[in-house]
Amino acid sequence: MKTRYTYGGDEHIYVEVDDEMSLDAFFIALSLSNLVRAANIPGVTEILPANASFEVRFDPDVIAPDAMMAKIKEFEHQAEAQEKRLDTRIIEIPVYYEDPWTHETLMRFRERHQDPTGSDLDYAARINGYDTVADFIEAHHSQPWFVSMVGFVSGLPFLYQLVEREKQLEVPKYLRPRTDTPKLTVGYGGCFSCIYSVRGAGGYQMFGITPMPIFDPEQKISYLKDFMVFFKPGDIVKWKPIDRAEYDRITQAVEDGSYTPRIAEVAFDLDAFNQDMTGFNAKLMEALNDA
Amino acid sequence: MTLEIIKPGLATTIQDLGRPGYFHLGIPEGGAMDRLAFRAANMLVGNDEGAAGLEAVFMGPEIKFGTEMSVAVTGAEMPMMLDGEPRETWTSFTVKPGQVLSFGFLKTGARIYIAVSGGIDTPPALGSRSTYPIGALGGFEGRAIAAGDVIPVGNGSVMAEGRVVPDALRRRPGSPAELRVLTGLYWHRLTEKSQKAFFDDDWVVAPEADRMGYRFRGGQPMEFVDRPQPFGAGSDPSNIVDGCYSYGSIQVPGGLEPIVLHRDAVSGGGYFTLGAVISADMDLIGQLQPNTPVKFKRVEMDEALAARKQRKTMIEDIRQALA
């Protein structure tokens, strides 16, 4: 890993812990951003942790850009030495794969796609070496995922699958981003899955849709009353494939306030996970199934 | 005290100086795109510079005033009438209950700012009245204003009429508009030839230009330094492992059309960025119409900081001129 520091204009410093994705890079970026936050450096206005990088926004009238960068660098070694462990939760998210709404949208933006002849799932299955879309969908939901970043728009989670690198699924983003994506689309770009929290622009391939809202500015949905954003970095997700009938049932339950997401408290320890991924995930699933 | 919206214009939103602090969740700072013009409008009517007002793009709204108040319109040049009588932009005037403000066709610039004494008094969301329509947050019911909306206005005192921002203190983009850029972020991904071409090429504002970002076209497609793509980025050479974006950062999906993120920026994503427009020039982008010719100009950090200082001085000069 080679940490790279660069300016984003005169108000931002961007720190790329690694140019490739790994949970090691995620934990170092998170630790480093937490150390910068805890240092209460005058002039720092915002800290944004990301998958394998983070960004600091600062006021250059208070602290000079080069001084700001030097301050962040001071914490690099300490961040690398920190424990890679989190107390977190695992959440079951229902997904209706190959739904009619994302299909209508992907057909509308076909000329912006690498392969205009098929669907996003056809393309993703093929370039990842799966014989059928069904096999690819199975690979997408059979093992849990780790929220390694929240952002893009209103509380959108980026998720990284908890499997060996050779089992990771990877797809490019659209050649030119779409100007429209249905709300709650389950998307895919690079090695990341995501849930589009609101309707809008997007560059990720579209695989399906969840009936479970994850952002509510009015804070009326039962599980979003305390805060309008559902996800935070470190959350673990298990996709649960559902059909149209189940999708409609959950949508109705969310509306009448009777839907409660299935959630269990768990700990994530990167060393323990790396030693036995299958065993570690089995324990996560046990906790979820008991919830 | 109220404003009644007779015609809303194209995408007129309530804005203030934004809601910093939630970008790490994907909720952008938002607020007026041309902050200098926005502050000036508030100064003209005797408000705090951060009081909420209206931002209208390309087309003005039609507004009926519920009570006597001071009004000022700044930003783009757009003819304006109070009950059919012409009024000057960048100048305070007083309106009586029942009077109607309307606008003619846009002449130059892109966005006008309408300030009223007392400021707009809709309920703040996460500390700001700025409208973030994508997240249905803030403003009037989280959306652009519509015909029939009755917008609450706070208590303010009526100022003297005819307070004017001197012409020299009205900042406007030149022609072609020059946007100063600090290279950085993923600048190293471009070949030397494309690095040079970005600054040499003539660009124009594309039709897809809004509060989230301004898209540009007309320049050459960009070429990338050859490399095996890092794991997790995606196979297109313009793809990166999704990281944070900054306000003003310039992404070029597929190496084709640069997009400069603005006040309603997305907070992260997986396209490489080549640098960022300097903070001092963000106001100018808010005044660009589609098809406006644009040149990007490379600057270093010291020039960016000098420009930032110069802009601050200009705002201070407006304060002094209206004191």
For B185-219, give one letter per residue: b (16+ CB within 10 A) or e: bbbebbeeebbebbeebebbbbebbbbbbbbbeeb
Overall average pLDDT of the A132-143 stretch: 98
Tell whether the model's pLDDT for residue A136 goes beyond 90. Answer: yes
- The Cα–Cα gap between B275 and B251 comes to 8
* Domain edges within chain A: 4-82, 87-290
Angle (CA) B317-B319-B321 rounded to 5° is 70
pLDDT of B234? 87
Q: Reduce the DSSP state of residue A269 to 3 states and report it.
A: strand
CATH architecture of A87-290: Beta Barrel (2.40)
pLDDT per residue as tens digits for the range B160-185: 899 999 999 999 999 999 999 999 99
- Taking alpha carbons only, the member of B103, B137, B104, B117 closest to residue B31 is B137
Question: Touching check for B20 and chain A: CB below 8 Å?
Answer: yes
Question: Touching check for B256 and chain A: CB below 8 Å?
Answer: yes
Check CB contact under 8 Å for A155 and B25: yes
pLDDT per residue as tens digits for the range B127-146: 999 999 999 999 999 999 99
* Domain edges within chain B: 2-169, 177-313
pLDDT per residue as tens digits for the range B49-59: 999 999 999 99
pLDDT of A277? 97
- The Cα–Cα gap between B56 and B120 comes to 15
Angle (CA) A58-B257-A110 rounded to 5° is 120
Overall average pLDDT of the A120-128 stretch: 97
What residues of chain B lie within 8 A of the CB of A192, using their CB?
Answer: 232, 242, 270
Strands of the sheet containing A44-49, edge to edge, are A4-8, A12-16, A53-58, A44-49
pLDDT per residue as tens digits for the range B209-242: 999 999 999 999 999 999 999 999 988 899 999 9
pTM comes to 0.94
Q: Reduce the DSSP state of residue B17 to 3 states and report it.
A: coil
Question: Touching check for B313 and chain A: CB below 8 Å?
Answer: no
pLDDT per residue as tens digits for the range A152-190: 999 999 999 999 999 999 999 898 889 899 999 999 999
What residues of chain A lie within 8 A of the CB of B125, using their CB?
Answer: 217
What residues of chain A lie within 8 A of the CB of B244, using their CB?
Answer: 14, 48, 50, 53-55, 151
- The Cα–Cα gap between A129 and A9 comes to 41
B290 vs B160, which has greater pLDDT?
Answer: B290
- The Cα–Cα gap between B126 and B19 comes to 7
* CATH among 2.40.50.140, 3.40.718.10, 2.40.100.10, 3.60.150.10 for B177-313: 2.40.100.10
B288 phi, psi to nearest 5 deg:
-95, 130
ipTM value = 0.96
- The Cα–Cα gap between B323 and B312 comes to 16
Overall average pLDDT of the A227-252 stretch: 97
- The Cα–Cα gap between A64 and B304 comes to 12
pLDDT per residue as tens digits for the range B76-116: 999 999 999 999 999 999 999 999 999 999 999 999 999 99
**Banded model confidence at residue B15, pLDDT cuts 50, 70, 90:** very high
Overall average pLDDT of the B197-209 stretch: 97
pLDDT of A176? 85
pLDDT of A177? 86
Q: Tell me if A217 sits within 8 A of B137, measured CB to CB.
A: yes
Tell whether the model's pLDDT for residue A2 goes beyond 90. Answer: no
Instruction: Work out the minimum CA distance from A290 to partner chain B, whole angstroms.
Output: 30
Type of residue numbered B323: A
Reported in sequence order, the residue ranges of chain B that DSSP labels E, i.e. its strands, are: 2-7, 13-15, 53-57, 62-65, 69-77, 80-82, 85-87, 93-95, 100-103, 108-116, 150-152, 177-183, 203-209, 213-217, 239-244, 249-251, 259-261, 268-271, 273-277, 293-298
Which residues partner with A240 through β-bridges?
Answer: A94
Overall average pLDDT of the B62-77 stretch: 98
pLDDT of B318? 98
pLDDT of B123? 97
| CATH dotted code for A4-82 | 3.30.1360.40
- Taking alpha carbons only, the member of B252, B314, B302, B313 closest to residue B278 is B302
What residues of chain A lie within 8 A of the CB of B23, using their CB?
Answer: 46, 48, 57, 151
Q: Mean pLDDT in chain A?
A: 96
pLDDT per residue as tens digits for the range A58-100: 999 999 999 999 999 999 999 999 999 999 999 999 999 999 9
Question: Touching check for B21 and chain A: CB below 8 Å?
Answer: yes
Percent of chain B with pLDDT over 70: 100
- Taking alpha carbons only, the member of B31, B45, B105, B104 closest to residue B74 is B45
Q: Mean pLDDT in chain B?
A: 97
Tell whether the model's pLDDT for residue A1 goes beyond 80. Answer: no
Q: Are strands B203-209 and B213-217 parallel, antiparallel or unpaired?
A: antiparallel
Check CB contact under 8 Å for B26 and A154: yes
- Best A5, A68, A154 member to test B by mutation, with max B CBs in 10 Å, is A154
From residue A6, alpha-carbon distances to A16, A22, A54, B165 in Å are 8, 21, 11, 39
Check CB contact under 8 Å for A20 and B231: yes
What residues of chain A lie within 8 A of the CB of B310, using their CB?
Answer: none
pLDDT per residue as tens digits for the range B242-274: 999 999 999 999 899 999 999 999 999 999 999
Instruction: Work out the minimum CA distance from A96 to partner chain B, whole angstroms.
Output: 23
Q: Tell me if A34 sits within 8 A of A42, measured CB to CB.
A: no
Of B142, B271, B273, which is closest to A173 when you measure between CB atoms?
B271
- Taking alpha carbons only, the member of A152, A154, A157 closest to residue A232 is A157
Check CB contact under 8 Å for B234 and A154: no
Angle (CA) A26-A31-A36 rounded to 5° is 130
B80 vs B323, which has greater pLDDT?
Answer: B80
Pure H helices in chain B: 35-44, 192-200, 282-285, 301-322
Question: Touching check for B303 and chain A: CB below 8 Å?
Answer: no
Check CB contact under 8 Å for A150 and B26: yes
pLDDT of B235? 85
pLDDT of A175? 87
Nearest CA in chain B to A192: B232
